[in-house]
Structures are given as C-alpha cells and as structure tokens.
C-alpha cells in the first residue's frame, strides 16, 4: 500500500517534492522516485511485503519499463514463476514488481492477469506512453489532470493541486450530487479540472492525448439466474481470505456483531497462522455493537480491542475531511477514523467486511424496495400506487416503523418520501432517489441560493437520479437487481471504498476487502435474487454459507446498521461545530446556500430528527472542505484542526 504520483510533460521546480510530501501519510516507510527528461514517477511506501527490498519504482531488466504501484497483487507468486521461466529476473520479493515484467510480455492486457487491489502508473520508454490502471472494483484510488500537453496523476487530489497548474474551479454538478447522495460519483470530482480513473479502466497517454478503455465489468445482477451453492461461495471466500493474509507485517480485522466480519474472522482463524487481532468501536449506547462483537471475539478466540467514541471526536472533522480529499457527507466517517487510528497502533494491515452489502443486497433500502415492488406487482396499474400512497399518508409515522426502517426514524419527512416513492414507482430511477437521497430536488430548490441554481445546467436540479440511469434501461429484470448493478458501479467505489481507503490511510493502515476478490464477484453477482433477498432476509447465500462456520444463531443474526447516533451530547457537539462554521456571514459569502435554509435545518436538527441531523452534518462537512481546498491557494500539508479554519 502506498501513495503514487507523477507527471509527463510538466516541468516545474520543486513540484515532485511537494507532491510526495502531501502523500507521506500514505507511505511513511520510504520514498522512491525516478525521472527522465519530462517524465517522473514517485512512490511513498507503506512496506507490507518484502519490507527491506521492495523499494519502488520497479523496472524491467533493460530499464525500458518503469512502474509504481499502490496496492497488492495477490497472485504474484504464480505470475512470478511463469515470468522467471521466460527468463525474467527479479530484484526483490515484492508482489508489485511483477507489474513491469508482465507488461513486457502482455502489453496493456497484463492487468487482466492480476488478482488484487491496485492503482498502477507505468512508463514505456519504447513507445513513449504513460499507462494508468485501476483495479476492477475501484478499491485503490487514482486521479489525473491535464496540464497543457502534459498529465499529472496521484493517489489523492491534494497532490495534483500542489502543481499550481490545475484550476480549483468547482464542479457545480459534483456539489449537487454530493447533497443528493453524500458523495460524488463517476469520473468527475469536485474540481472541474481533475478526474477520477474509473474502476476497471486503463488510461493511455501519449503525444499529449489520452484515451481510456474498460477492461472489466461487474456481471449484471440476476444474469445467470437461479440459486447459488453455499459451499462454492464459502470456498471462494476462504481462498480470498487466504490470499489477503499475505504480509510480512501484522494483520488484523475490524469486527462488528454482524455476519460479514464474523465470517471473515472465522476464516482467518481457519486458514491463517499465529494470533488473530480484532478491533471494534461503540458509541456508549446499549444498542451499539460492542457487546455482540466482544461475544463473537470470545467465541473465536481472538485478541480483541475495543474503543468507545466520544462526542469530542467530532472536533477532528477537519482532519478527516483533509484526508478524504473529496468530502463524504456522512458522520460515519468519525467512528471509521477513530477505529482506524486504534488499529494502526497494533497492525499495518486490516481486513474488513466491506463490499458484502453491495454484492449480496444487505442494505435496508434494497430490502424495502423489494417489499414495495412485490406489493405493487400483485395488482398492476398506476392507480394502485396512488391508493397505497394515500393510505400511507394517513398512517402515523411511528406505525410505519413496523414495516419499514426509514419513515419513523426520519419523522414526517420520511413518510412523505415513502408516498413520493409509491407515486413515482413507474419511473424507477426517480422512485429510488426518494429512498437514497439526502436532499431531494424539492429540498434543494428552497435551500440553494438563486445564483447557484443558475450555475447548474438545465435539468440537473430537477432529476438527481441521473446516476441511476441503468435503472430505467432496457435490461429488464427486477428493480432491485438493476439497483444492485448501479450501486456496484457508484456507491461501492465512490462511497464505501473511497472512505475506507482515505480514512485508513490517514493512519498508514492498509485495508483489504475479501468479499471483493473479482473471482467471487464474478460468481456471485449474476446469481438470482433469491440468493440475496428472500423471506425477509438479506444476504441469504452468505448467511447459509456462514451457518456451517458460525452456527445458525450467529449466521442469521439481524443486521444492525453502523452509523453515528447524532443524539444527546453528539447532537450538541454537531450543533456547536455547525454554529461556528455555518455562520450567517460565511454562508452568505459562499453563495451556494440560502442563509434561511441553513438556519431552518439547524433548528430542525435540534429537534433530534435523524434526517435533519444527517443533512446538517453534510452541510458542515461541505463547508469544512471549502475552507480546506478552495479558500486557500495551497493545500495544507499538515493535517488541520478546527482552529486552523476559523
């Protein structure tokens, strides 16, 4: 795991050093650089495999090919044997060295032979082109920006901004998407001039021009149909866990009370050697996961550590936003950051259960959408949705909690969203937007400053669900299956994996995700819906596989959402921070939001409404991001505090 960076056809004294310094948290164990006329490649290394000998950049025997790699290549031993049989000579035991040699044999198609999580930059001096590669699922980040006829790239946008050659002009659509979904998606970032290399893509840059192509796609949900064999699922997952224990340094895992991480922990015990370290976090509430995690750790015999979050941890939000690069409008970043810091004190590598919910339909909105879809399919016709919508509108919000996880906890606004979903059911993407958006178009219409609304191009404000166009596509199938397709390409890389990478690497901690081995994804994603959602249960196949390892009780334990409860003292801390950052003068000067709209959300958040506290947290994080990355000519190299920005 590392931070990589570099450029082609960009000459500026001191740039390379500034870029490397901004990424030092990603790789505190050493720096490796190489340059030749107008090309430069750099690496800030977090040493995991071949700690002493794995210095980058790597080179082919004749020096024609140079490569820097962020991540891990888990099948490197097999690839190395084949390459050595063809006469290649290696100078280290490091897994990532195979990239340069394999490229010599297979050209750009070399990436198809890799099993791992990686971002790669490779310079071919023979053809004089630069190759940028990102892994299939988007586990490792990679950004780039054009500068005249040149290109600058890095693992984080802050390193690209160090050039001073890249405009800090804001991408207005990205801000709009952020307020809808709490993150930005696709290749576009918050900066109009910086792009994100998409998962499963290769970018070739030569003679001042770049071309991008896709080398892998997630198989469509339900494409194969039918059910899956729990034994086969478990076999694939076990092999994935075995590969991800590859390390010359201590490895641990995050453990909650849920089945995803518990199954990973059990498989680590089965295939690993040595002691197993587990880490959990709680919030000082009876319904947090600490007790369940401790029980699971005791049953598995792990060395368990736990941390209880405090309201004061919210005051580290500026550090979190700085490390995120692009904001994630969700208070979940606070416990994730704290958990990573605790684990980094004992290990350098952590296994997580991320990806299981996206792959196996583990989110409550997916289960709720399937339930509603089944009701509406019983009696077709648009009038049915209108009748049911009217019925829902007359029920107390608390009563709806018997059926749905959202409305009661979101108050009357949640009930209105459920009604809107039923009324818009014929328009799949818009209907889904009612469940997944933080600010709906009608919210933003009253929240946005009039000048900002004019900056948004026509149609962008009215339909936030553009990112879910696949939901309205011609593929057919169930709405939930189309939603799974869309979220594997958007939510998974740009929310789930983005925050994991940035918040863990803030503490020089490498996160690995066994559920996202591409072989497991290729086998699981196209299974029929009954392997994922059936009988009111989620992740059905995963739970069936886990039952033989953990026992029935643990395998079918009800899922508890992992979120920061912004109540009590947490609510007070949020409101205090919001009052300091979102003052009337600053909001007015920013020119994005109406002062009255922000003050209304602050008043409603004092009433402890889940929805409005979430909205306020997102607005606070956005303002912190602007102060860090837009209001300054140069990005802070040292992580900031609250006082830095006031």
Q: Quick one: pLDDT at residue 285?
A: 72
| Length reported for the chain | 646
395 or 7, which is more confident? 7
Output the six-digit token pair for 617.
């947290």
Q: What is the pLDDT of residues 179-207, one digit of tens each?
A: 999 999 999 999 999 999 999 999 999 98
Q: Is the peptide bond before 516 cis (omega within 30 degrees of 0)?
A: no
**Confidence class for position 421, pLDDT limits 50, 70, 90:** low
Q: What is the pLDDT of residues 246-267, one digit of tens each?
A: 888 889 999 998 999 999 999 9
- Taking the C-alpha atoms of residue 104 and residue 111, their distance in angstroms, rounded to an integer, is 12
HEC string of 283-303?
A: CCCCCCCHHHHHHHHHHHCCE
Q: Quick one: pLDDT at residue 123?
A: 97
Positions annotated as catalytic residues are 2
Determine contact, residues 39/6, Cβ cutoff 8 Å: yes
Quote the crossing angle between the two packed helices 317-324 and 333-344, to the nearest 10°.
Answer: 90
Q: Quick one: pLDDT at residue 218?
A: 95
* Lowest-confidence pick of 79-88, 458-467, 609-618: 458-467
Strand 129-134 versus strand 143-147 pairing type: unpaired
Rounded to the nearest angstrom, the gap between the alpha carbon of residue 433 and the centroid of all alpha carbons in its chain is 19
**230-361+512-555 CATH pick, 3.40.50.620, 3.40.50.11820, 3.40.50.1820, 3.30.1490.20:** 3.40.50.620
- Taking the C-alpha atoms of residue 23 and residue 16, their distance in angstroms, rounded to an integer, is 11
- Taking the C-alpha atoms of residue 469 and residue 483, their distance in angstroms, rounded to an integer, is 10
The alpha carbon dihedral of 184, 418, 564, 345 has a sign of: negative
Q: Quick one: pLDDT at residue 415?
A: 61
Q: Quick one: pLDDT at residue 221?
A: 86
Q: Quick one: pLDDT at residue 408?
A: 43
Q: What phi, psi does 569 have (nearest 5°)?
A: -65, -30
Provide the H-helix boundaries in 208-250. 230-243
Mean pLDDT comparison of 113-122, 240-249, 463-472, highest-scoring range: 113-122
274 or 255, which is more confident? 255
The count of C-alpha atoms lying within 13 angstroms of the C-alpha of 507, restricted to the half-sphere facing its C-beta, is 22
**Confidence class for position 407, pLDDT limits 50, 70, 90:** very low
State the CB neighbour count (10 A cutoff) for residue 540.
Answer: 22
Determine contact, residues 282/289, Cβ cutoff 8 Å: yes
Q: Quick one: pLDDT at residue 386?
A: 61
The secondary element (H helix, E strand) that includes residue 6 is strand 2-8
Q: Quick one: pLDDT at residue 2?
A: 86
**Confidence class for position 336, pLDDT limits 50, 70, 90:** very high
The CATH superfamily of 2-214 is Aminohydrolase, N-terminal nucleophile (Ntn) domain (3.60.20.10)
pLDDT at 636 over 70: no
Q: Please, what is the average pLDDT of the chain?
A: 87
| Sheet of 143-147, strand order | 31-36, 39-45, 2-8, 150-154, 143-147, 194-196
List the Cα angle 221/227/232 in 5-degree steps: 100
Q: What is the pLDDT of residues 467-517, one digit of tens each?
A: 454 555 545 567 888 889 989 999 999 999 999 999 999 999 999 999 999
- Taking the C-alpha atoms of residue 96 and residue 438, their distance in angstroms, rounded to an integer, is 40
- Taking the C-alpha atoms of residue 583 and residue 433, their distance in angstroms, rounded to an integer, is 30
Residues in Cβ contact with 128 at an 8 Å cutoff, skipping those fewer than 6 apart: 206, 207
Determine contact, residues 76/538, Cβ cutoff 8 Å: no
**Confidence class for position 520, pLDDT limits 50, 70, 90:** very high
* Lowest-confidence pick of 168-177, 239-248, 409-418, 452-461: 409-418
- Taking the C-alpha atoms of residue 421 and residue 432, their distance in angstroms, rounded to an integer, is 7
| Sheet of 303-308, strand order | 303-308, 277-282, 251-254, 349-351, 510-512
**Confidence class for position 273, pLDDT limits 50, 70, 90:** confident
Q: Quick one: pLDDT at residue 417?
A: 66
pLDDT at 358 over 80: yes
Q: Quick one: pLDDT at residue 466?
A: 47
- 116-136: average pLDDT: 97
Task: Fill in the DSSP letter of residue 557.
Answer: P
Helix (H, G, I), strand (E, B) or coil at 432: helix
Determine contact, residues 221/477, Cβ cutoff 8 Å: yes
pLDDT at 8 over 90: yes
Report domain extents, the chain.
Answer: 2-214, 230-361+512-555, 376-489, 568-645
pLDDT at 644 over 80: no
Q: Quick one: pLDDT at residue 418?
A: 65
Q: Quick one: pLDDT at residue 538?
A: 93
The alpha carbon dihedral of 12, 14, 17, 20 has a sign of: negative
Residues in Cβ contact with 381 at an 8 Å cutoff, skipping those fewer than 6 apart: none
Q: What is the DSSP string of 463-520?
A: -GGGGGGGGGSTT-S-HHHHHHHHHHHTHIIIIIHHHHHHHHHTTT-EEE-GGG-HHH
**Confidence class for position 388, pLDDT limits 50, 70, 90:** low
């Amino acid at each position: 795991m590392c931070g990589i960076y570099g450029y082609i056809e960009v000459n500026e004294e001191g740039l390379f050093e500034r870029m490397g310094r901004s990424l030092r948290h990603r790789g505190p164990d050493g720096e490796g650089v190489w340059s030749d006329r107008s090309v430069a490649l750099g690496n800030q290394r977090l040493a995991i495999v071949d700690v002493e000998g794995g210095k980058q950049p790597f080179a082919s025997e004749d020096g024609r090919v140079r490569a820097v790699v962020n991540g891990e290549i888990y099948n490197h031993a097999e690839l190395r044997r084949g390459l050595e049989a063809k006469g290649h000579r290696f100078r280290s035991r490091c897994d990532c060295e195979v990239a340069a040699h394999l490229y010599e044999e297979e050209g750009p198609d070399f990436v198809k032979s890799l099993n791992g999580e990686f971002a790669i930059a490779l310079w071919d001096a023979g053809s004089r082109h630069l190759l940028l590669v990102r892994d299939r699922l988007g586990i490792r980040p990679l950004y780039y920006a054009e500068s005249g006829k040149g290109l600058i790239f890095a693992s984080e946008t802050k390193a690209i901004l160090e050039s001073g050659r890249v405009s800090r002009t804001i991408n207005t659509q990205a801000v709009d998407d952020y307020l809808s979904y709490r993150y930005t998606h696709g290749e576009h970032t918050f900066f109009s001039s910086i792009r994100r290399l998409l998962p499963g893509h290769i970018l070739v840059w030569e003679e001042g021009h770049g071309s991008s192509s896709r080398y892998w796609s997630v198989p469509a949900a339900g494409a194969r149909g039918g059910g899956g064999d729990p034994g086969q699922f478990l076999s694939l997952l076990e092999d994935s866990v075995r590969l991800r224990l590859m390390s010359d340094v201590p490895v641990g895992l995050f453990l909650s009370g849920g089945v995803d991480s518990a199954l990973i922990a059990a498989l680590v015990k089965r295939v690993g050697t040595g002691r197993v370290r587990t880490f959990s976090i709680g919030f000082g509430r009876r319904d947090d996961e600490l007790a369940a995690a401790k029980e699971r750790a005791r049953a598995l015999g792990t060395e368990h550590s736990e941390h209880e979050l405090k309201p004061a941890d919210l005051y580290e939000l500026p550090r979190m936003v700085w490390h995120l690069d692009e904001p994630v409008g969700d208070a979940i970043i606070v416990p994730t950051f704290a958990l990573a810091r605790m684990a980094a004190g004992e290990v350098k590598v952590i296994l997580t259960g991320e990806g299981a919910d996206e792959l196996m339909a583990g989110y409550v909105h997916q289960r709720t959408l399937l339930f509603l879809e089944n009701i509406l399919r019983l009696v077709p016709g648009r009038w049915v949705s209108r009748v049911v919508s009217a019925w829902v509108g007359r029920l107390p919000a608390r009563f709806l909690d018997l059926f749905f996880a959202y409305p009661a906890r979101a108050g009357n606004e949640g009930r209105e969203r459920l009604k809107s979903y039923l009324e818009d059911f014929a328009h799949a993407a818009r209907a889904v937007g009612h469940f997944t958006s933080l600010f709906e178009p009608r919210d933003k219409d009253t929240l946005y400053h009039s000048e900002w609304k004019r900056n948004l191009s026509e149609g962008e404000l009215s339909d936030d669900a553009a990112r879910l166009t696949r939901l309205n596509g011609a593929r057919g199938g169930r709405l939930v299956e189309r939603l799974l397709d869309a979220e594997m390409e958007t939510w998974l890389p740009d929310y789930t994996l983005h925050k994991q990478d940035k918040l863990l690497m803030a503490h020089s901690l490498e996160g690995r995700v066994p559920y996202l081995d591409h072989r497991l994804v290729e086998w699981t994603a196209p299974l029929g819906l009954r392997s994922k959602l059936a009988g009111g249960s989620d992740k059905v196949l995963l739970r069936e596989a886990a039952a033989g390892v953990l026992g029935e009780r643990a395998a079918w334990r009800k899922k508890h959402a992992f979120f920061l409860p912004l109540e009590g003292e947490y609510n007070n801390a949020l409101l205090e921070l919001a009052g300091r950052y979102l003052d009337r003068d600053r909001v007015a000067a920013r020119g994005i939001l109406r002062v009255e709209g922000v003050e209304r959300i602050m008043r409603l958040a004092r009433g402890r409404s889940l929805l409005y506290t979430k909205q306020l947290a997102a607005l606070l994080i956005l303002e912190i991001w602007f102060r860090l990355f837009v209001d300054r000519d140069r990005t802070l190299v040292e992580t900031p505090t609250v006082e830095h920005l006031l």
